[in-house]
């Protein structure tokens, strides 16, 4: 169980100190933090909380949205926060088409130019990497499921993420392998092997794909074992690629958010054991 990490949005209503205390109470040694909650509690206080509890910060979520105006300034702040927290990586959700807000309707004058948006991501990343490198922060490019291409991430496959990362050293720019986003990809075996050979896997996140999807597809993520993903096989493939870091449980799910977070952690540990460790 030592590699299990709680991503803070799995217990979204918990503040940073509540989530830290929850990890300690449940014997979880690592946490993935979110900038929203870190901002609410304060960066210095958050740093002190995780340090005091002796937790690893497996990731900070999230930088990105590089296709919007003013992105660089906000991403530099995110890098500074990741550096202060000693996060293993800063997760980057790169953003959708310019003018298409997450979950919303396209604004007048929005762009349909998908190759152009992808080029904009490349350029913004190129401007951000040196800043992150100076502060010892590893950026982790997260391909999102193609159903979020328009509004959240024009980065849609692991292969595309590896192409985007390729110009930079692996210790500066890695990729996120999130089961929910990549499980369907017919190129996954070869791209996982490629990611492993290049030492690019910066984060492995798990949850499950519920079938059918709920009305709000953003919240369409299930506890491990409650969906259709073969998490055992995926975990084996990630291990075969040489990844030995934390396994972060990140679940966006309205029912889980409404439940008692301590019960969620109990279930999460049980399912981590049965579905990921298969012990």
Of 14 and 183, nearer to a second copy (C-beta) is 183
CB 172 → a second copy: shortest distance, Å? 22
Q: Could you give the 3-state DSSP secondary structure of residue 263?
A: helix
Tokens of 57: 């910060």
Binding site for a second copy (CB under 8 A): 97, 100, 103-106, 110, 112-114, 118, 145-147, 149-151, 156-157, 159-160, 183-187, 209, 211-213, 215-217, 228-230
**Residue 179 C-beta: closest distance to a second copy, Å:** 12
For residues 59 and 202, what is the distance between their CA atoms, to the nearest angstrom? 9
Q: Based on the number of CB atoms within 10 Å of its own CB, is 116 exposed (0-12), middle (13-18) or buried (19 or more)?
A: middle
List the structure tokens of 231.
């998490």
Q: Minimum CB separation from a second copy for residue 261, in Å?
A: 27
Compute the distance between CA of residue 165 and CA of residue 167 in angstroms, rounded to an integer: 6
86 or 232: CB nearest a second copy: 232
Query: Which CB, 17 or 106, lies closer to a second copy?
Result: 106
> Which of 272, 268, 262, 271 has its CA nearest to residue 24?
262
Q: How far apart are CA 120 and CA 191, in angstroms?
A: 24
Nearest 5°: the CA angle 41, 46, 48 is 135
Q: What are phi and psi of 269, to 5 degrees?
A: -65, -40
Q: Which is nearer to a second copy, 55 or 229 (CB)?
A: 229
* Closest to a second copy by CB, 183 or 272: 183
Least distance from C-beta 163 to a second copy, angstroms?
A: 8
Minimum CB–partner distance for residue 114 and a second copy (Å): 6
Q: Which helix (H) or strand (E) holds 93?
A: strand 90-93
CB of 88 to a second copy, least distance (A): 27
Beta carbon nearer to a second copy, 100 or 247? 100
């Amino acid at each position: 169980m030592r590699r299990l990490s709680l991503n803070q949005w799995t217990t979204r209503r918990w503040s940073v100190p509540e989530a830290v205390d929850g990890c300690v109470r449940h014997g979880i040694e690592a946490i993935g933090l979110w900038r929203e909650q870190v901002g609410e509690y304060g960066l210095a206080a958050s740093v002190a909380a995780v340090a005091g509890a002796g937790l690893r910060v497996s990731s900070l979520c999230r930088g990105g949205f590089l296709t919007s105006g003013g992105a660089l300034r906000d991403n530099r702040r995110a890098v500074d926060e990741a550096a202060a927290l000693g996060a293993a990586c800063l997760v980057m959700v790169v953003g959708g088409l310019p003018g298409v807000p997450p979950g919303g309707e396209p604004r007048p004058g929005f762009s349909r130019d998908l190759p152009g948006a992808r080029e904009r991501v490349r350029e913004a990343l190129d401007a951000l990497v040196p800043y992150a490198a100076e502060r010892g922060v590893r950026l982790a490019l997260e391909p999102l499921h193609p159903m979020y291409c328009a509004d959240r991430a024009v980065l849609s496959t692991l292969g595309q993420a590896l192409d985007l990362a390729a110009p930079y050293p692996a210790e500066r720019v890695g990729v996120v392998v999130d089961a929910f986003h990549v499980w369907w990809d017919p190129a996954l075996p070869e791209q996982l092997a490629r990611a492993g050979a290049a030492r690019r896997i910066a984060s492995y996140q798990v949850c499950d794909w519920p079938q059918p999807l709920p009305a709000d597809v953003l919240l369409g993520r299930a506890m491990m074992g409650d969906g259709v993903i073969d998490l055992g096989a995926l975990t084996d493939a990630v291990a075969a690629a040489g990844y030995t870091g934390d396994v972060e449980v990140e679940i966006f799910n309205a029912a889980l958010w409404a439940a008692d977070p301590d019960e969620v952690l109990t279930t999460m540990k049980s399912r981590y054991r049965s579905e990921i460790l298969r012990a």
